[in-house]
Amino acid sequence: MSRKYKFHNPEGVYFVSFAVQSWVDVFTRNVYKDILIENLIYCQNNKGLEIFAWCIMTNHVHLMIRAKEGYLLQDIVRDFKKFSCKAVIKAIKENYEESRKEWLLKQLETKEGYSLWRGDNKPIELWSNAVITQKLHYIHQNPVEEGLVFKAEDYMYSSAYDYTGENGMIDILVID
């Protein structure tokens, strides 16, 4: 079975999740989450990524995204995952304050080198307002369900914070 992303509708809005290898809690430190933020912003500014919702958890990421006309979402996702893998692994190796460095690197090591992301992700096209609302709620409530915050809008590494109108981390397209 192919492990590649299948984005059948190039104009569609998709819900996508990326999980870390073995569900390792890599993103417990802001420095690693910030790498993902910078990469998402880069993809917005240079690769045609449109973001409607997002959330970075300790071991996975949720996105509600679309590609601008002339871009392919599978290419954007591939590039995002490839760059973030290299950047996060490098940051772990160079982080002298990382007490879990050896353990993290061992968990992410493969025969070919290192792999941050699992390959068994499946994009879901959001084809109705009801599905969009359900996925938006799911993304924003994830930190609440995990006990990280009491209110979704208090979690800085999520578009729930961006939706408050405060100075969010990522420019998002608001879904009415």
pLDDT-derived band of residue 161, with 50, 70 and 90 as boundaries?
Answer: confident
Residue with tokens 């591939």: 78
pLDDT higher for 67 or 172? Answer: 67
- pLDDT exceeds cutoff 90 at 20: yes
- pLDDT exceeds cutoff 80 at 174: no
- pLDDT exceeds cutoff 60 at 35: yes
Looking at residue 171, its pLDDT comes to: 77
What tens digit of pLDDT does each residue of 126-140 get?
999 999 999 999 999
68: Cα separation from own chain's centroid: 18
Domain 14-162 top-level CATH class: alpha beta
Q: What is the residue extent of each domain of the chain?
A: 14-162
Q: Identity (one letter) of the amino acid at 40? A: L
